[in-house]
Amino acid sequence: MNDAESPRGAEYGAEYGAEYEAERDAVRRDQADPLPTLRDAFHVPPAPGGPHAEAAYFAGNSLGLQPKSTARLVNEELEDWARLAVEGHTRGRRPWVDYHERARGPAARLVGARPHEVVAMNSLTVDLHLMMATFYRPAGERTRIVIEDTAFPSDSYAVQSQAVHHGLDPERTVVRLRPRDGEEHLRTEDVLAYLERDGRHVALLLLGGVNYLTGQLMDMAAITKAGRAAGAVVGWDLAHAAGNVPLRLHDWDVDFAAWCTYKYLNSGPGAVAGCFVHERHVRDAGLPKLAGWWGTDPATRFRMAPEFTPPASADAWQLSNPPILALAPVLASLEIFDRVGMDALRAKSERLTAYLAGRLARIPGLRVITPADPAARGCQLSIRVPDAGGLVERLAASAGVMADAREPDVVRLAPVPLYSTFHDCHRAAAALASALGGRSGR
């Protein structure tokens, strides 16, 4: 009796056939999707291992892929620098003196803001500190800063240092909201209950729009409304939300927000960040702020006067002239988002993420800790497994699937709708099933 005729051979043949059909189904989904992939607009790295030439890239929540248009924009600025030197400030193809303003409209559309409410500047944590210099004003019994317990470490460090800066004890000042025992996510009703109960003590509520570890999308509208009703300033860290989910910062009445642009916004490692300040604040020239030359009114900036005269825009929080070579990739990325639109990307994201979640749910022993409700998550799916780092290495080496790990036991997979495909999701599910010793989720 040969292998094909044996019971084990028949089982193998059925499994192989099912796997083949699962792959064909993924390909058909890609062909039929109403928003075709923009994968060809990006540089996709080669697969570290496995039979495929290109990686199935699921680490865009850590560092997005490079748009192919980026090099052209950066090279044009280098050429203008070489050709014009200092005159590039006024005579370049995109004059440097107002270069950051080119990001204003696209960034505002991306986050649901009015153009004068946004500015591209600095890096995320720097922007959060600049915002807190203005908006964290502890007084009397209202001194607390509220964050989530699983906030990204940089946010924890930032708020603790702000407490110390004001002469306060961070152990008593910083409140870390935790999920209920046995749960992975912070319930909206628990955040609202805390604000109703203890809101009189809260000076600043600063949560992540999408949690970096679990991928949970917070109900930003409801939490902002409750925070402001309690008398607190409400800010949002949108590092994992900007470019991932639709935002309506102005309509939600958010006080301030900041985001990086190197994750879903594909602007390169350490790229220039973005910042939002609601228009009721940008119109208040009396607000205290840390000031710098580029934050003064551009109409009078070059008079070199010692008096600081802020414009009625988020530009008032700028410190230094913008880094042109670092802003060019931001413009390249924002052009893509402007062309495609967040609503279309969100719809595709929900299709991709639901497909991957369905495949993962069929793998024995694998536990997804991201909310199952599509309205409560972005595109990231986090799974809790032993030896997360080792699993990520095996996925790359065996199948060319690139994900990332957060030690000790979380692997994050982000099917980014700009360049991820259903076939990528199929590859990820099959590779995880193989690595975990189970059958592929079909």
Q: What CATH number labels 94-339?
A: 3.40.640.10
Query: Is the bond preceding 408 in cis, omega lying within 30 degrees of 0?
Result: yes
Q: How far apart are CA 312 and CA 333, in angstroms?
A: 27
According to DSSP, the residues that pair with 139 across neighbouring strands are 142
Global pTM value:
0.94
CATH second-level architecture of 24-68+341-435? Alpha-Beta Complex (3.90)
Q: Nearest-5° angle of CA 244, CA 373, CA 37?
A: 40
Q: Environment class of residue 365 by beta-carbon count within 10 Å: exposed (0-12), middle (13-18) or buried (19+)?
A: exposed
Q: What pLDDT was estimated at residue 437?
A: 82
Q: Average pLDDT in the 266-282 region?
A: 98
Count CB neighbours of 316 within 10 A.
25
According to DSSP, the residues that pair with 345 across neighbouring strands are none
Residue 179 Cα distances to 25, 257, 380, angstroms: 38, 23, 19
Would you list the DSSP string of 288-349? -----GGGS-TTTGGG--SS----SSGGGG--S---HHHHHHHHHHHHHHHHH-HHHHHHHH
Q: What pLDDT was estimated at residue 275?
A: 98
Q: What pLDDT was estimated at residue 16?
A: 62
Q: Average pLDDT in the 346-366 region?
A: 96
Q: What pLDDT was estimated at residue 4?
A: 36
pLDDT at 442 over 70: no
User: Is 143 in contact with 203 (CB distance < 8 Å)?
Assistant: yes
Q: What pLDDT was estimated at residue 438?
A: 53
Q: Average pLDDT in the 263-279 region?
A: 98
pLDDT at 12 over 60: no
Backbone phi, psi, residue 307, to 5°? -80, 140
Q: How far apart are CA 391 and CA 435, in angstroms?
A: 7
Residues 389-429 have pLDDT tens digits of 999 999 999 999 999 999 999 999 999 999 999 999 999 99
Q: Residue 236: which H helix or E strand, with range?
A: strand 233-237
Domain residue extents for the chain: 24-68+341-435, 94-339
- Strand 367-368's sheet: what is its strand order? 367-368, 381-384, 410-413, 404-406
Q: Residue positions in the annotated binding site for pyridoxal 5'-phosphate?
A: 124-125, 152-155, 237, 240, 262, 293, 321
Q: What pLDDT was estimated at residue 349?
A: 98
What size, in residues, is the chain? 442
**pLDDT: is 14 or 198 the higher one?**
198
Residues 276-305 have pLDDT tens digits of 999 999 999 889 999 999 999 999 999 999
Q: Nearest-5° angle of CA 261, CA 263, CA 268?
A: 65
pLDDT at 10 over 60: no
Residue type at position 404: D
pLDDT at 150 over 60: yes
Q: How confident is the model at residue 441 (pLDDT cuts 50, 70, 90)?
A: very low
Q: How far is CA 153 from the centre of its chain?
A: 15
**Tokens 């995880």 label which residue?**
432
Q: What pLDDT was estimated at residue 38?
A: 97
Q: Residue positions in the annotated binding site?
A: 124-125, 152-155, 237, 240, 262, 293, 321
Residue 346 Cα distances to 13, 189, 246, 247, 264, angstroms: 38, 25, 7, 11, 12
Q: What pLDDT was estimated at residue 128?
A: 98
Q: How far apart are CA 350 and CA 332, in angstroms?
A: 25
Q: How far apart are CA 117 and CA 407, in angstroms?
A: 37
Q: How far apart are CA 338 and CA 418, in angstroms?
A: 12
Residue type at position 149: D
Describe the crossing of helices 104-111 and 324-340 by its angle, rounded to 10 degrees.
50
Q: What pLDDT was estimated at residue 50?
A: 86
User: Is 48 in contact with 302 (CB distance < 8 Å)?
Assistant: no
Q: What pLDDT was estimated at residue 19?
A: 81
**pLDDT: is 4 or 83 the higher one?**
83
Q: What pLDDT was estimated at residue 15?
A: 60
Q: How far is CA 145 from the centre of its chain?
A: 22
Q: What pLDDT was estimated at residue 400?
A: 97
Residues 89-124 have pLDDT tens digits of 999 999 999 999 999 999 999 999 999 999 999 999
**Count H helices, E strands: the chain?**
15, 15
